[in-house]
Structure 1
Amino acid sequence: MNSADLGRRVGVPSTALFTDQYELTMVQAALKAGTADRRSVFEAFTRRLPEGRRYGVVAGIGRVLDAVENFHFDEEMLGFLRDQSIVDRPTLDYLADYRFGGDIWGYPEGEVYFPGSPILRVEGSFAECVLLETVILSILNHDSAIAAAASRMSAAAGGRGLIEMGARRTHELSAVASARAAYIGGFDTTSDLAAGFRYNIPTVGTSAHAFTLLHDSETDAFRAQVDSLGRGTTLLVDTYDVATAVRTAVEIAGPELGAVRIDSGDLLLVAHRVRQQLDELGATETRIVVTSDLDEYAIASLAAAPVDAYGVGTQLVTGSGHPTCSMVYKLVARAGSADPADELRPVAKKSMGAKSSKGGRKWAARRLDEEGVAEAEVIGTGPVPEELAGRQLLVELVRGGEVVAREPLDAARERHIAARAGLPLSAMQLSRGEAVIPTEYV
């Protein structure tokens, strides 16, 4: 496998301070109490899907593996912790030697999930596992939210092209992660070059209104772009008058013009008019790309329009109203010592209300109906029923601190397409509803 297929990871900085202070102070207290080395099992899951969503999408697993691999404390970080009196000397000594040496199992990237799904299971000593909590949740909550929005938009697009173009609407680093998650969720390309460089996602881009306004006329602007980028370029036609711009575009580029982009107005109406005009001018193969604050509902409303591709920014990188998945990371089992032979004991939060959790080291499987369509997410702590043995969802990601499951981003993308296709048809509905299949505990 070519290393370029896995994304460029050279020069990745330490992720050790992408955490909350209480992770370190818990380790300090546990070291002093003699419980830091107790074998423990943590699980990342969500108690419910975002309101109205029918399924979730697992994204960020590859980034989690990078974060775990690069979670170590250098001298400068240790100096900061010492100077700020955040932890004591014994804890600093522990952190100086820290490398995660445990095991991680999880849902493979691109898989769908439901309430209670043990999306990630982290096993090791209490101290080494608890330190990873914040960075794991930070990645999974963000990336899965973006991937879920992308998946809904992809379903609404019905096979038409999707361009991720939200870099200017979020933090510069979030933009790269968003492009990656969107690609998993079904987007085809990104405008963000950092995402293209790091993750080998196909990149696209042509010009903005500023380029047209720079020139003395729209004709001059179009000619300059075609001369530079070729007849297959995409010309932005709504700076002034759309009909005039379309005619000018075809006059300059000829019927070989690649595409026109519409960024304002009544997109349904304008797209029909532009398609008719292009056909009358002989540019029957010229594609129409629409942008302008699109979300899955706007995309669905354009299903009858002669649109070839959608460019989506703000709504995508903010999760289309749900910028987080509310995943949590909970201790579900622990031993009485560090002895590998010591039996794991289920533990769980028992508080009243919605914040209680279920103890025990869990497995998960998806039960299918007679037609091969998912009908339940089955979760258990005991033996796996024979009929579900071949349908288990968790895969080994890290063994003894070593990553064992890197894969090309395209594999996650293809997995998501297959996983979504295996859900009941109601999963594709954009109307508000409950999870498309129930979660059953056995």
Structure 2
Amino acid sequence: MNTADLGLPVDVPSTALFTDQYEFTMLQAAMKAGTAGRRSVFEVFTRRLPNGRRYGVVGGTGRVLDAVENFRFDEDVLGFLRERRILDEETLQWLAGYRFSGDIWGYPEGEVYFPGSPIMRVEGSFAECVLLETVILSILNHDSAIAAAASRMSAAAGDRPLIEMGARRTHELAAVAASRAAYVGGFTSTSDLAAGFRYGIPTVGTSAHAFTLLHDRERDAFQAQVDSMGRGTTLLVDTYDVAEAVRTAVEVAGPELGAVRIDSGDLLLVAHRVRQQLDELGATDTKIIVTSDLDEYAIASLAAAPVDAYGVGTQLVTGSGHPTCSMVYKLVARAQSADPKAPLVPVAKKSSGGKTSIGGRKWAARRLDEYGVAEAEVVGTGPVPDGLADRQLLVELVKGGDVVAREPLDAVRDRHTAARANLPMSATQLSRGEPVIPTEYVNGRSGSRTGA
């Protein structure tokens, strides 16, 4: 696979070093102890949603599949590990032939999730599964945070399109992943050309104040842009006086001017004034795009404004205050021996301080009320109760080491729209609150049920 598809620099041959060293420590020690081959089940979940959020959004699954497929130890990587004396030669020889050969199940990308949801389940030998912890978590935590912020913003925007414009506010590779996650969450386009190239996301671009300041007159800047890009271009009108700029823009481009962009001031007031002015000048079809450090709350406050689209940057690529989802990757079951037929036994951390886990391989289903609206996230072990078998959420992503669930990004985006629409109406309220539906745990051995 071309590393450019993963958002990697061309000189990085694989994702194998997107790994914490402690994973290698566990690998080598387990190989010495004879436990590395034990069949194991790891699950990705979060114990709680970010404070005040009503639901989470699964983002980055497609990138995880690429990363797992490209998790290879070539000579350069092995040489680095050998030079640093991170691993002994026996372990290095094992890594030279590493290919993940297990199974991965997970919530399909774009689906919503809640505390305790088994968002991803990784099964195979302990050795091959433990190495994937960091790369899986780094992708899911980042992309899901951006997708959740994007979802809240798209809910606030309603039918108005959203433009992702945050590349200059984050790491250059994170910007590409953020554009992809934003598209999953409901954004319609991006200004980041790398994201457009890699993922087929529609791209757009206007101009900066520097372009206006370059020219002797604002009129000259507008004329140059229209001559180059055509009358359908978007002109930035708040470098000097907005009213004068709008008048000049229409004089230069005519009523066929595509759009104007407002990037400062009281956006609600300025948008109303600009709309009235455009209409009076005959530019009734000219759109108004607003930018300027928008988040979901600012977007909601502009619902009554004559705005046609929003451009969002900083707040989106930082997760609108929650840049991670606090997902963890925990061993929940393992075989009693290295025998492939050895039965699995549940295991779980039992420490205090809110970090306990529930052991056992889990299924998840979403129970609906009589109106077909989600009313509970049901997570359990053992047999799936009657009535939930056709509501199960996990799908097979990797089988025997082969990816089996690649899908177009537009399908992921459509899935999220449908999943969010299936939640109670309060899910899209921006006021702080608890998860919009509870998580219920079902013990397969006793059939007992507990809340989250």
Determine helix, strand or coil for the equivalent of 1:256: coil
Query: How many Å apart are 1:341 and its aligned residue?
Result: 1.8
Q: Do 1:155 and 1:428's aligned partners in 2 also have CA atoms closer than 8 Å?
A: yes
Partner residue in 1 for 2:218 = 218
Alignment-mate amino acid for residue 417 of structure 2? I
- Specify the code of the residue in structure 1 equivalent to 2:136: I
**Aligned-partner Cα distance in 2 for 1:164–1:172:** 14
Question: Which whole-Å CA distance do the structure 1 matches of 2:29 and 2:115 have between them?
Answer: 32
The residue type paired with residue 50 of structure 2 is: P
Shift of 1:9: 6.0
**Conserved? CA contact 2:150–2:186, under 8 Å:** yes
Aligned twin of 2:275: 275
Alignment of 1:126-165 (within 5 A): 126-165=126-165
User: Does 1:174 pair with 2:166?
Assistant: no
Q: 2:87 matched to 1:87? A: yes
**2:146–2:319 Cα contact (<8 Å) kept:** yes
Residue 96 of structure 2 is matched in structure 1 by: 96
Q: Using the alignment, how far apart are the partners of 2:354 and 2:186 within structure 1?
A: 32
Specify the SS of the correspondent of 1:386.
coil
Q: Do residues 237 (structure 1) and 232 (structure 2) align?
A: no
Q: Aligned pairs, how many?
A: 437
Instruction: Give the conservation status (yes or no) of the 8 Å contact 1:335–1:342.
Output: yes
Output aligned runs, 1:367-386, within 5 Å. 367-386=367-386
- What is the match of residue 40 of structure 2? 40
Tell me, what secondary structure is at the counterpart of 1:412?
helix
Distance in 2, Cα, partners of 1:67 & 1:230: 42
Q: What code does the residue aligned with 2:320 have?
A: S
**Structure 1: 4+ residue segments shifted above 3 A:** 7-13
- Structure 2 residues not aligned, in runs of 5+: 443-452
Partner of 2:115: 115
> Which structure 1 residue ranges, 5 or more long, are not aligned?
none
Any conservation in 2 of the 1:8–1:197 contact (CA below 8 Å)?
A: no
Give the match's secondary structure for 1:196. Answer: helix
Amino acid across the alignment from 1:35: T
Alignment match, 1:298: 298
Counterpart contact for 2:143–2:181, Cα < 8 Å? yes
| Offset at residue 106 of structure 1 (A) | 0.2
* Cα distance in 2 for residues equivalent to 1:387 and 1:300: 38
Counterpart position of 1:340: 340
Q: Distance in 2 between matches of 1:382 and 1:78?
A: 41
Residue 357 of structure 1, CA deviation? 0.3
Query: Residue deviations 1:117-146, cap 9 Å, x none?
Result: 000000000000000000000000000000
1:8, 1:202 → 2: CA distance? 17
TM-aligned CA deviation for residue 352 of structure 1: 1.2
- The yes-or-no answer on 1:314 pairing with 2:314 is yes
**Could you tell me how far apart the structure 2 residues matched to 1:200 and 1:54 are?**
30
Secondary structure of 1:353 counterpart? coil
SS at structure 1 position matched to 2:224: helix
Contact 1:165 1:190 in 2 (8 A): yes
Shift of 1:316: 0.2
Normalised to the residue count of structure 2, the TM-score between the two structures is: 0.95
User: CA separation in 2, counterparts of 1:245 and 1:22?
Assistant: 59
What percentage of residue pairs aligned between the two structures are identical? 84
Q: Indicate conservation of the 8 Å contact 1:206/1:235, yes or no.
A: yes
Letter in 1 for 2:296: E
Using the TM superposition, give the Cα deviation of residue 337 of structure 1 relative to its aligned residue in structure 2, in angstroms.
2.1
1:161 Cα shift?
0.9
Matched to 1:154, the amino acid is S
Distance 1:216 1:248 in 2: 14
Question: Does structure 1 retain, via aligned residues, the 8 Å contact 2:146–2:318?
Answer: yes
TM-score normalised over the length of structure 1: 0.98
The alignment status of 1:78 with 2:78, answered yes or no, reads: yes
